[in-house]
A and B are shown apart, each in its own frame.
Chain A
Amino acid sequence: TRSTNLVSPLDSVFIRKEPFGLVLIIAPWNYPLNLTLVPLVGALAAGNCVVLKPSEISQGTEKVLAEVLPQYLDQSCFAMVLGGPQETGQLLQHKLDYIFFMGSPRVGKIVMTAATKYLTPVTLELGGKNPCYVDDNCDPQTMANPVAWFRYFNAGQTCVAPDYVLCSPEMQERLLPALQSTITRFYGDNPQSSPNLGRIINQKQFQRLRALLGCGRVAIGGQSNESDCYIAPTVLVDVQETEPVMQEEIFRPILPIVNVQSVDEAIEFINRREKPLALYAFSNSSQVVNQMLERTSSGSFGGNEGFTYISLLSVPFGGVGHSGMGRYHGKFTFDTFSHHRTCLLAPSGLEKLKEIRYPPYTDWNQQLLRWGMGSQSCTLL
C-alpha cells in the first residue's frame, strides 16, 4: 500500500513487478561462469525468457554452458546463442525487451546504440582504470597484502581490480619491498609454478604486453612466457600519465605506480579521468579515506579494502559514466529485470465521490481539490 492524497481510501494502490519479456545477456570471459549465471538468475527469477550469449573467448566454459546448461532449464524459455562479434551484431538487430551487457566501454556503446532501434532498456557493466590511492599514513605491509591480492587475483583480469596505485615517492619506497614480500608469500619464489596464480585468457590478450611492460620501469616481476600465457605479478614505477599503461584498462597482473605529492593531487588526477568502476583508498586516517570518497565518483568504493563488497548481496553493483549504467546483485538483479508497473484499482461505483473533479468548476471545487492534492497523508474523500 502507498500513502495517497487525491485517491480515496477505497482505492487499491500498488506496484507490480512484471518481466520485460525477452532478455538478452551478453557475458564476458574473465569470470565466465559467475558473470553469466548471476545475471541469468535475476532474469529468470523476474520471469523473463532468456537468450544467453556466453563469451566465445572462454572456450572451455562456453562449451559447458552451451551443451550442459540447457539440459537443466526449460528450453522453451531459454536459448543459447554462440559466436563472435559478427554473430553478436546480428543478434542485436532483433527486437529484445532488455539487454544486459558486460564488457568494454567500446562495445558497450555499440550495444546501447543497437538497443536504440527498439527503445530497449539496457544495463551495461563496463570497466575502466580503477585508482588505488595509498596514503603516506599507512603501514605498507598491511596494505600491500590486499592491494596485491585484489590485483593479481585471476591474473589481474578483474573489472574491479585496482588498476594503478597513486602514492608519494616516499610511500613508494616503502611499498615496493612490502609488495615483493607479499608476492613471494602468495606465489612463492617462482610464481609461474604456483597453483594460485592464473593465466592470461589467450594469445591475443597477451599481445599488448610488450608495449605495457615498456612503460616506466619494471620494479617487480616483468617475466612472461607466451606459450604459457603467463605474466609474472609485476609492478611498474616511474610511469607517466601519457604512457599506454595509463591509457587503457590493464586487465593483466601488472600494477603501475604513479607518484602524487598529496591527497589533493591524487583527487585531481582521478577526477581528470573517466569515472571508474571501483575506487580504493588506503589510509590510517579515516578523514583521508572520507575525503577520497566525498570528492570523487565511481561505481563503488573501498576504504582500506578491495572489492569485498561484491560478496555483499545487499549493495548494488554497477558503474557510472564510462564504467557503466544500471546495477545488479541480489534483489537489484531481480529489480533490474522487472518492470515496476504502478497500479491503481478503483471501485467501479461510488461515482459521487469523483464528481468533485468534473467541470464546470466553482471556486469551491478548486479549493477542495487543491487541498486534497497537497496533503500527503490524508485523503480527500
Chain B
Amino acid sequence: HFLAAGPPGRAGQPGGRAAWQSLRMDPLEDTLRRLREAFHAGRTRPAEFRAAQLRGLGRFLQENKQLLHDALAQDLHKSAFESEVSEVAISQGKVTLALRNLRAWMKDERVPKNLATQLDSAFIRKEPFGLVLIIAPWNYPLNLTLVPLVGALAAGNCVVLKPSEISKNVEKILAEVLPRYLDQSCFAVVLGGPQETGQLLEHRFDYIFFTGSPRVGKIVMTAAAKHLTPVTLELGGKNPCYVDDNCDPQTVANRVAWFRYFNAGQTCVAPDYVLCSPEMQERLLPALQSTITRFYGDDPQSSPNLGRIINQKQFQRLRALLGCGRVAIGGQSDESDRYIAPTVLVDVQETEPVMQEEIFGPILPIVNVQSVDEAIEFINRREKPLALYAFSNSSQVVKRVLTQTSSGGFCGNDGFMHMTLASLPFGGVGASGMGRYHGKFSFDTFSHHRACLLRSPGMEKLNALRYPPQSPRRLRMLLVAMEARGCSCTLL
C-alpha cells in the first residue's frame, strides 16, 4: 500500500493505480507518527486551526464541484441532481454548520453543582481523542467520507482517511486533491483494499469511525478491541417498509419508489423490502409501475436520473437475486452498462436469498402479511435494521409499528428524510450499528467529554468534615452536602 500525502501536481497520470506508485512512498508508520507528534504538539487544539481546516473543506467542495460531479457520474452514474442533493450540498451544509457552531460546541459546559461543590468550578470539557481513523464506503463516497471528517476535524483530531477503493474516481480526487486543502501535518489519506485496511487496523488509533457492512464491522471492532479503541460503526441491514391497507397506493408508491431507486438502490437506509397484504399488493403494483414510468420514462436505461451499480461484483450479485420470487415490474439488466431496471419482485419467500442479505440495489421484494401484527412479528424475528418505515393513513397504525419495533431510525409515511436534518442523530442499533453522528452529534462522537472540578486551594478548610476520625453527625452533614442542590438550602 502507499500513501497519497505527497506533493500536489501528480494527478491525472494515465494508467491508474500503477502510476501513483511513482509518488513519494511514505511508510504508514512514519505518517502515523508524524500525525501523533502534530497532535501532541497541540496543533489541532485552537479553534482558528480547526476553522481553517473546515474552510479548506468548504473550498475543496466549491472549487472542485464539476470534478466531483464527473467522478460521481463515472463511479455510480449519479445524475447532477443526486450528486448535488445527496453528496455535495449535504457535505457543504455540514461544513457550514460546523463553522457556524464550532466555538459553541467547543465551549466548556458548566454543570449544576451540589452543596459539596458549590464553591468549585465544575464543567465538562470536550477534548479531541487524538488520532482518528475514518473508513468510508463507496455508495455515497463524498458524503460518507466528508461528513465524518467534518466532525473529526471540528473536534480537533488528527485524521487518517481511508476512502473506498471501489468508488475509484472519487477516491482519486480525495487522494490527490483534498489533501491540498488541509494541513497535511494533521491529515493523511491511506489507499488500498481489504488487505491494506487490515494492516492499517493493526495500528493503534484513538477512535475509529467505520461505515460499511456488519461483517466488516465485526472485523473493525475486533481490531479496535486490541487497543481499547472506541468505535462508531455505521452498518446496514434489511430495512422493512410496512404498507398498511389503509393507504393511498399512488402516494405510497411515489415515496417508496423514490427512496428505493435513488442511487440505484445503493443506500444503507433505503426501504429494502415491503410488507403488505395481498390486497394492498394488487393496488400497489400498478401504482409502482406508474411511478417508475413517470420517474424514469419507458426506457429507464436511457434516463439520466437512474444510477448504475458500482461494479461487476455487485452487479452479478444483484442479477442473481432477480431469480427470487417472480418479477412483477422491471427485471431487465445489462452487464456492459452495469444496469439493473427498477424492479419489483412478488411471491417472495423469507428463505430466498433476496430476503437473506441487504439488497443494496434497485430491487424491491414484496412479502405478504395478513395484518400489522404479523408484520411486526416478522420484523422482530430479524436483526434490528438501520431504518424502518411504516405507511398508513392511520396514525395509530404508524405509532404501533414504531412502539413495537426497534431500529436505528424510523419514518412514518415517508422515506429517510430524517437523515437530512442536521439536528438529529443518525446511527444504527444492534447489527445495524453503534454510535451516531451528524451535526453536533459528530462533534460529540469525536470528542472525549472530560469531567472537571477545579477548587480554590484556600477552600481546604471546608473539607475538614469528610476526614477521619468520623462521627455519625458528621456523616449526616456530609450526605446532605453531597445531595443538596446548593441554591435551596445552606449548610452553614
Contact = CB atoms under 8 A, between A and B. Distances in A.
Interface string A9-22: 00101011010110
B129 A346 contact: no
B395 interface: yes
Contacts, number: 288
B460 A119 contact: no
Contact of B420 (A7, A108, A313): A7
A11 B255 CA distance: 15
A370 B89 contact: yes
B324 interface: no
Contacts of B112: 314
Nearest to A284: B457
A340 B426 CA distance: 9
B60 interface: no
B457 A374 contact: no
Interface string A287-319: 001000111011111111100110111111110
A143 interface: yes
Contacts of A360: 295, 297, 303, 305
Interface string A361-380: 10001100110011010000
A312 B450 contact: no
A124 interface: yes
Contact of B453 (A21, A299, A309, A355): A309
A303 B130 CA distance: 23
B218 A117 contact: yes
B225 A113 contact: yes
Interface string B176-217: 000000000000000000000000000000100000001001
A124 B122 CA distance: 24
Interface stretch (A55-63, A76-84, A320-328): A320-328
Contact of A303 (B45, B218, B449, B453): B453
Contact of A376 (B97, B122, B431): B97
B92, B124, B226, B457 pick with most chain A CB within 10 angstroms: B457
A119 B421 contact: no
A85 interface: no
B226 A348 contact: no
A297 B294 CA distance: 57
Nearest to B121: A303
Contact of B254 (A2, A351, A369): A351
A313 B485 CA distance: 11
Contact of A299 (B251, B411, B431, B450): B450
A119 B218 CA distance: 6
Contacts of B90: 373
Interface residues of A, number: 102
A298 B81 contact: no
Contact of B251 (A11, A118, A351): A351
A112 interface: yes
B413 to A, nearest CB: 4
B425 A340 contact: yes
B412 interface: yes
A370 B457 contact: no
A283 B218 CA distance: 46
A53 B82 CA distance: 51
Contacts of B436: 340
Contacts of A21: 406
Contact of A344 (B410, B448, B452): B410
B247 A119 contact: no
B134 interface: no
B104 interface: no
A359 B81 contact: yes
A186 B469 contact: yes
B468 A297 contact: no
Contacts of B120: 305, 308
B207 to A, nearest CB: 10
A344 B418 contact: yes
Given A119-B235, A145-B463, A289-B454, A2 B395 contact: no
A149 interface: yes
Contacts of A322: 228
A358 interface: yes
Contacts of B43: none
A13 B411 CA distance: 9
B258 interface: yes
A146 B468 contact: no
Interface string B444-477: 0000111111111101100100111110000000
B393 interface: yes
A97 interface: yes
Interface in B38-74: 40, 42, 45
B489 interface: no
A252 B417 CA distance: 55
Contact of A316 (B84, B224, B255, B451): B451
B233 interface: yes
B113 A314 contact: yes
A304 B454 contact: yes
A302 B92 CA distance: 39
A6 interface: yes
Contact of B426 (A105, A342, A370): A342
A373 B122 contact: no
Interface of B: 40, 42, 45, 79-81, 84-85, 89-90, 92-93, 96-97, 111-114, 116-117, 120, 122, 124-125, 127, 129-130, 206, 214, 217-218, 221-222, 224-226, 228, 230, 233, 235, 247-248, 250-251, 254-255, 258, 294-297, 303, 305, 391-393, 395, 398-399, 402, 406-414, 417-418, 420-427, 429-431, 433-436, 448-457, 459-460, 463, 466-470, 482
6 contacts: A4-B421, A13-B424, A196-B470, A305-B455, A320-B450, A342-B426
